[in-house]
Amino acid sequence: EESLSTSATSAESIEQLEIEVNTLDSLEKQALRLLRSGQDAKWQQLNRILDEDLMKNSDGSRRKLIIFTEAKATLHYLADKIGGRLGNPDFVEVIHGGVTRENRRNVVNRFMQDRNLLILIANDAAGEGVNLQRGHLMVNYDLPWNPNKIEQRFGRIHRIGQTEVCHLWNLVAADTREGEVYSRLLEKLETSREALKGRVFDVLGELFEGTSLKDLLWEAIQYGEREDVKATLFEKIDNAVDYGHIEELVRKKKLTNDLMPQESVEQVRLAMERAEAQRLQPHHIQSFFIAAFEQLGGRIKPREQDRFEITHVPVRVRERDRQIGTVAPLQKKYERICFDKRYINQQPVAEFVVPGHPLLQAVISLVRENHGHLMKQGAVMIDESEDGDQVRAVFLMEHSIEDGRRRGDGKSNTVSRRLQFASVDQQGNVANAGIAPHLNLRPATDDELKVLRQDLESEWLTDDLEEEIKKYAIIELAQAHLKEVKIRRLPEIERAEGEVMARLKKEINYWDSRAAELKEQARAGKKTRLNWENAQRRAEDIAERLQRRMALLAKEKNITAAPPVVRGGLVVVPKGLLKNRLSEGSVPDGFAGDAESRRKIELCAMEAVMDAEKSLGFEPSDVSAQNVGYDILSFDPTTKSQRFIEVKGRIKGADTIMVTRNEIITSLNKPENYILAIVQVFEERADSLRYIWKPFEVEPAFGVTAEQFDIKSLLARSEEPI
């Protein structure tokens, strides 16, 4: 009692105590008059927000709103006020620390699914880990004194998957000392947010490490009428929310190196452009899915541009999804699906079928079950784009990069997996065959296999080619893959080690110190809310957690390459050799008479295009050996852009050119940057060079590996190299 009475007042005499009691009595009467007047300025402001146009849909119905408060009494006060204003208390729900986890989940689900629940009022019990993105409007009725909570609250609606623009109102009392400090903080945060592209919110909780925002607000309330104190407070806020200070905190906090120098950004952008030119989505995926789905008994028909309707999903496909799927089961029919994200958001909205979608995964699983054995059996394929006379063998390999961790089934944890092709010719030369050479090939017919029997029974094809391929993969492909993964992963793991060590060490030191402090208080006979043994146990638990985490990170750093595995193989016969075998050496008009002459024409054409690009100020590179869907990658140093050039060389007077499926698909992936260059050669010199922009408009049908085009029709819309 003596301790309480001493701390309850600062009065040192009866006279001072009487003055203090009278002051408190006066303040109590003022508060009572304010309460009875009903003039709640903050509620009036919220009331005006509820009437804003943003609160209503175009049809006049009310949009959902989340309101955050601090005190539970304020929360219930607002629930009663808003329920009465809307005329139905069922329109309002609350979440606070006293709401059980199960009831909290039910409230969140109702807010997400029930159109009649319009207003959710919550304190910070809903500030973290709760998805409320059904709404996109939020009010901070009370601003927290920990600025990090602002972003935690806003993150409930402003998150991945939100399709609406999110709006946040922060209610700050004008003409108050607390309000002045918070207004200054919010203004500085907005300036820094614009400069740092929103990354300021990643470190909000660490901006006031030296002096907490809570201390600044207390100081403002106590001494804020003094101009010197106010100036000092504003200076502290400006320093805390300084651009340089925030950028340094972001740099220290981040676990990945996402602030790259400009040169690295350019390299990544150019690499992404090249990857986009070679992507499977949407053309290859669409062609495969439609053919495979119909073969499995599915019914699909085209609707709007690049959109389809599925009227029947076979039982076997749905059953396979139940066996391998982990998400919602497949539907019996789909009103719309699409393979290109540009066509999703039309009415009706389309299901986006991409790798990983359960419908596509079920189809792939059934196709592999029905035909997977053919991969190992191998095949003889014809390359319609190759005029040479050398047979080659191509193998599909899988190589994985693993770390020291173990999965639940006891197998090594895979951190990267890659499929790659390698080829070997009659001379034993092994080379990278590109990302998808099979897309340009067609199966040999029975008649073709008969005339090619002698070539296919060559002794070199019966050698142990798999071993040669594996050696090449181990030395070249797997090591390059391993190096790439290590460069990316090791800095991330090392940075994670530093963060884990710093954060958990801080926790251990705190609980060790707290345990010692509580132990001393217990020895002195003082009662404490927390037992010192519990605090010590907490420190020991965190120390064990630190040890486990560091051991796990050490295993993550143990990155190794697994042995390559051959998944399939095929023998590739060039069209030139097949024609020689079928017609004993005769060739169609427009083609040179032998492979060596055809090779010289192609080299002449490549040289002409390379020279033309250099004369235009570009930096061309010959990538024809990589089988990526184009022959020359040309870089513009002025605009920092790339263009992809496919070169077709023909002797003067030729009627047609052959274009592979892969080349056509690549042109459709990058229509603005793809060029078809036609070079007519006369007497081993380039006679004319013409560029055709956007040469192709329609992808080939599934199973078509190459298409023939009339040269005159193409040249009619060609132009000089520019």
Structure confidence by residue, pLDDT tens digits, 348-360: 778 889 988 999 9
| Beta-carbon-side half-sphere exposure of residue 149 (alpha carbons within 13 Å) | 18
Highest mean pLDDT among 141-155, 296-310, 575-589: 296-310
Q: Which residues of 673-710 are buried (b: 16+ CB within 10 A; e: fewer)?
A: bbbbbbbbbeeeebeebbbbbebbeebbeeeebbbebe
Q: How far are the Cα atoms of 9, 132, 164, 255, 385 from residue 129, in angstroms, in the given order?
A: 42, 10, 20, 21, 56
| Burial class of residue 597 (count of CB atoms within 10 Å of its CB; 0-12, 13-18, 19+) | middle
The pLDDT value recorded for residue 407 is 83
Query: Tokens 């749905």 label which residue?
Result: 318
Reported as a pLDDT band with limits 50, 70 and 90, residue 587 is very low
Model confidence at 341: pLDDT above 50: yes
For 129-133, 411-415, 709-713, which range has the lowest pLDDT when averaged over its residues?
129-133
Task: Report the C-alpha gap between 100 and 106 in whole angstroms.
Answer: 10
Task: Report the C-alpha gap between 24 and 36 in whole angstroms.
Answer: 18
Q: pLDDT, tens digit, for every residue of 648-699?
A: 999 988 899 989 888 898 999 899 999 999 999 988 888 899 999 999 988 8
Question: Dihedral of CA 294/298/299/304: which sign?
Answer: negative
How many other C-beta atoms lie within 10 A of the C-beta of residue 163?
7
The pLDDT value recorded for residue 296 is 95
Mean pLDDT of all residues in 457-470: 87
* Phi, psi values for residue 643, rounded to 5°: -135, 150
Task: Report the C-alpha gap between 706 and 700 in whole angstroms.
Answer: 8
CB 620 within 8 A of CB 606: no
More confident residue, 374 or 403: 403
More confident residue, 565 or 180: 565
Q: pLDDT, tens digit, for every residue of 182-191?
A: 777 777 667 6
Give the DSSP H or E segment for 93: strand 92-95
CB 580 within 8 A of CB 527: no
Task: Report the C-alpha gap between 397 and 417 in whole angstroms.
Answer: 11
Q: In this structure, what token pair is assigned to residue 491? A: 């800095």
Task: Report the C-alpha gap between 343 and 595 in whole angstroms.
Answer: 46
| Average of per-residue pLDDT values in the chain | 84
Nearest to 628 by CA among 279, 383, 339, 385: 279
Q: Which residues of 76-86 are buried (b: 16+ CB within 10 A; e: fewer)?
A: ebbbeebbeee
Q: Give the 3-state DSSP-derived string for 210-253, with helices as H, strands as E and coil as C.
A: CCCHHHHHHHHHHHCCCHHHHHHHHHHHHHHCCHHHHHHHHHHH
For 279-283, 476-480, 645-649, 711-715, which range has the lowest pLDDT when averaged over its residues?
279-283
The pLDDT value recorded for residue 216 is 67
Reported as a pLDDT band with limits 50, 70 and 90, residue 592 is very low
How many other C-beta atoms lie within 10 A of the C-beta of residue 432?
18
Reported as a pLDDT band with limits 50, 70 and 90, residue 100 is confident
Reported as a pLDDT band with limits 50, 70 and 90, residue 111 is confident
Q: Which residues of 577-591 are buried (b: 16+ CB within 10 A; e: fewer)?
A: bbbbbeeeeebeeeb
For 65-79, 343-357, 365-379, 399-413, which range has the lowest pLDDT when averaged over its residues?
343-357
Nearest to 695 by CA among 714, 669, 721, 719: 714
| Burial class of residue 232 (count of CB atoms within 10 Å of its CB; 0-12, 13-18, 19+) | middle
Nearest to 63 by CA among 86, 35, 33, 32: 86
CB 303 within 8 A of CB 318: no
| Strand blocks (E) in 313-362 | 334-338, 351-352
Model confidence at 15: pLDDT above 80: yes
| Beta-carbon-side half-sphere exposure of residue 430 (alpha carbons within 13 Å) | 16
Reported as a pLDDT band with limits 50, 70 and 90, residue 590 is very low
Task: Report the C-alpha gap between 389 and 596 in whole angstroms.
Answer: 9
Model confidence at 256: pLDDT above 80: no
Q: In this structure, what token pair is assigned to residue 615? A: 């004369």
CB 391 within 8 A of CB 429: no
Q: How far are the Cα atoms of 398, 493, 496, 507 from residue 500, in angstroms, in the given order?
A: 34, 10, 6, 11
Reported as a pLDDT band with limits 50, 70 and 90, residue 150 is confident
CA-only gyration radius of the chain, Å: 36
* Phi, psi values for residue 552, rounded to 5°: -65, -40
Query: Tokens 């922060």 label which residue?
Result: 170
DSSP state letter for 145: S
First-to-final CA distance of the chain: 93
| Burial class of residue 239 (count of CB atoms within 10 Å of its CB; 0-12, 13-18, 19+) | middle
pLDDT above 70 as % of the chain: 85
Give the DSSP H or E segment for 506: helix 479-523
Residue 460 contacts by C-beta under 8 Å, 6 or more apart in sequence? 426, 428
The pLDDT value recorded for residue 581 is 85
Model confidence at 244: pLDDT above 70: no
For 123-137, 155-169, 525-539, which range has the lowest pLDDT when averaged over its residues?
123-137
* Three-state DSSP class for residue 41: helix
DSSP state letter for 257: -
Reported as a pLDDT band with limits 50, 70 and 90, residue 104 is confident
How many other C-beta atoms lie within 10 A of the C-beta of residue 58?
5
* Three-state DSSP class for residue 142: coil
CB 140 within 8 A of CB 152: no
For 63-72, 123-132, 151-160, 631-640, which range has the lowest pLDDT when averaged over its residues?
123-132
Residue 44 contacts by C-beta under 8 Å, 6 or more apart in sequence? none
CB 216 within 8 A of CB 233: yes
The pLDDT value recorded for residue 610 is 96
Nearest to 599 by CA among 351, 312, 289, 387: 387
Task: Report the C-alpha gap between 717 and 237 in whole angstroms.
Answer: 64
Give the DSSP H or E segment for 557: helix 532-557
CB 367 within 8 A of CB 349: no
Q: In this structure, what token pair is assigned to residue 630? A: 């184009």
Q: In this structure, what token pair is assigned to residue 276? A: 């986009």
Q: How many residues does the chain have?
A: 722
Query: Tokens 């990538």 label which residue?
Result: 623
Nearest to 588 by CA among 678, 649, 656: 656
Report helix, strand and coil shares of the chain as percent, to nearest 5. Answer: 50, 20, 30
CB 424 within 8 A of CB 392: yes
Mean pLDDT of all residues in 532-551: 92
Task: Report the C-alpha gap between 519 and 392 in whole angstroms.
Answer: 79
Mean pLDDT of all residues in 120-149: 78
